[in-house]
Amino acid sequence: MQLLQAWKEFFDWNGNWKDLDKDHTYTYEKYKEISDKEHLKKIISMPVHYLMESGKGFFVKKDGFAISLRSEMKDLVRGTAFKEHMRDIIEYRVMDYYKRRYREKLN
């Protein structure tokens, strides 16, 4: 449920919810009516799918989880360097997201 909570917080902030609607017909109220089940479906088809594709070898499917790191990485995950590296990657992806969105508005 942490993934769902983080997803909802991200899309609830700064008008990001508008990017979930390719047809541009959503209102904020309509966005808020999206069920958790629908959000989870989008999570699996969007970021989880692309992480699995781009992070070949790092991420695996695991029962009971949307996504998981390989079990061989458990000692690395506990380290500060790994956490900082992951934070940097996520921050970069968020900045890239906003850069692309801004450029699309200009065109």
Is residue 77 domain-shared with residue 58, that is, in the same domain?
Answer: no
pTM value surpassing 0.75? no
Is residue 41 domain-shared with residue 78, that is, in the same domain?
Answer: no
pLDDT digits (tens, 9 = 90+) for 17-30: 988 887 878 889 99
Is residue 77 domain-shared with residue 102, that is, in the same domain?
Answer: yes
Is residue 50 domain-shared with residue 98, that is, in the same domain?
Answer: no
pLDDT digits (tens, 9 = 90+) for 37-88: 999 999 999 888 888 888 778 888 889 888 888 889 888 888 899 889 989 9
Q: Please check whether residue 10 is in contact with residue 20, taking contact to mean a CB–CB distance below 8 angstroms.
A: no
Is residue 62 domain-shared with residue 78, that is, in the same domain?
Answer: no
What is the residue range of 83's domain?
Answer: 71-107
Q: Which candidate, 45, 59, 50, 43, places its Cα nearest to that of 10?
A: 43
Cβ-proximal residues to 7 (8 Å cutoff; 6+ apart), any chain: 39, 42, 43, 47
Is residue 57 domain-shared with residue 97, that is, in the same domain?
Answer: no
